[in-house]
Amino acid sequence: MNRKNVIIWILAIISTFSTTALFTLWLIRPAVHHFNANNRNNSEFQYHDKMEKERLIKKLNLRPAQENLFFELRERHKQHVFPIFASIGQLREIIFAELKNENSDTIVIYAAIEKISVLETQLQKESITYMLSMKDFLDPVQVDSMLVFFSKAMMPMGRGNHNPRNTNCNQNHNNF
């Protein structure tokens, strides 16, 4: 065997060994952590929450004394509305499960819709109560900013943001 053949065999062995090692490492790689927005320990979620708070403080021009009141009321509001959102979600799942059936029961669907409308009413009342409670400690300029901010957030889909690039299914209603 000449020197050239020996070098080729060494390179072939090294290449085979490296490829096998990389493939083995790829197979036994650790699972990637899945981001869960409900996990309060997740640093990405905490960062997002912090940025949202800073945005609200700036948007409403809150003074330090107002910040604590604002965020306490906000947390209390979330505790009231999140169960309502969860109930609405469950009712929508019932509706879509019934729609998937070959013989959909309209009585079940309409009953779920009626329950959703009651929950939507509760949601609107909770939101109005929340905004009224904030009027107790915000000055008139801050109240105006709050109303502009929340009026956009509470508009039906497609009506709160006047950005033409913001498209959603409600803007396509003429296509059916």
pLDDT of residue 111: 94
**Cα–chain-centroid distance for residue 85?**
12
Class of domain 72-156: mainly alpha
**Cα–chain-centroid distance for residue 84?**
16
What is the signed CA dihedral for 142, 148, 154, 160, rounded to 10 degrees? -150
Of 65, 66, 75, 68, the closest CA to residue 135 belongs to 66
pLDDT of residue 152: 79
pLDDT of residue 170: 43
pLDDT of residue 3: 81
Query: Where in the chain does DSSP place strands (E)?
Result: none
Collapsing DSSP states into helix, strand and coil, what is residue 163? coil
Residue with tokens 């800073």: 54
CA separation, residue 152 to residues 44, 46, 78, 110, 155 (Å): 26, 25, 18, 29, 5
Return the domain boundaries, the chain. 72-156
* Dihedral of alpha carbons 78, 143, 118, 91, sign: negative
Q: Report the interhelical angle of 140-153 vs 43-60 (nearest 10°).
A: 130
Number of Cβ within a 10 Å radius of residue 41: 7
pLDDT of residue 8: 83
Q: Report the interhelical angle of 106-134 vs 64-100 (nearest 10°).
A: 180
pLDDT of residue 76: 92
Instruction: Profile the chain (176 residues) by mean pLDDT over runs of 10 residues.
Output: 80 80 69 51 71 84 88 90 93 93 92 93 91 90 86 67 46 40
